[in-house]
Amino acid sequence: MPEQSIVDGIHIPGLPNECVAVDLSTGIYSGMPHYPSPYLPEIAVAPTANHNSHKRAATTITFGSHSGTHADAPWHADPDGLALDRVPLSHWIGRAMVVRLAGRNQAAPIHKKDLEQCAIPEDVERLIIATGWCESQWGCDAYWTEGPYLAGDAADFLVKLPNLLLLGIDSPNIDAAADTRMGVTAPVHRRILSRGMVVLESLCNVSRLPDAFFLFAPPLRIVGGDGCPCRPIGIYRPSGNDA
Residues that bind Zn ion (CB under 5 A): 66, 72, 201, 227
Q: Cβ 49 to Zn ion, closest distance in Å?
A: 31
**Cα–Cα distance measured from residue 14 to residue 17, given in angstroms and rounded to the nearest whole number:** 9
Q: Cβ 119 to Zn ion, closest distance in Å?
A: 28
Residue 21 or 150: which CB sits closer to Zn ion?
150
**Cα–Cα distance measured from residue 20 to residue 48, given in angstroms and rounded to the nearest whole number:** 36
Residue 171 or 235: which CB sits closer to Zn ion?
171
Q: Cβ 218 to Zn ion, closest distance in Å?
A: 16
Give the residue closest to Zn ion by C-beta. 66
Residue 25 or 236: which CB sits closer to Zn ion?
25
Residues 45, 30 contacting (CB under 8 angstroms): yes
Residues 77, 185 contacting (CB under 8 angstroms): yes
Residue 189 or 208: which CB sits closer to Zn ion?
189
Q: Cβ 26 to Zn ion, closest distance in Å?
A: 13
**Cα–Cα distance measured from residue 36 to residue 55, given in angstroms and rounded to the nearest whole number:** 38
Q: Cβ 197 to Zn ion, closest distance in Å?
A: 13
Length of the chain (residues): 243
Residue 186 or 243: which CB sits closer to Zn ion?
186
- Write out the E strands in the chain: 10-11, 20-23, 44-49, 58-62, 70-72, 93-100, 126-130, 166-169, 198-201, 212-216, 227-229, 233-236
**Cα–Cα distance measured from residue 212 to residue 214, given in angstroms and rounded to the nearest whole number:** 7
Residues 10, 20 contacting (CB under 8 angstroms): yes
Residue 68 or 227: which CB sits closer to Zn ion?
227
Q: Cβ 8 to Zn ion, closest distance in Å?
A: 27
Amino acid at 206: V
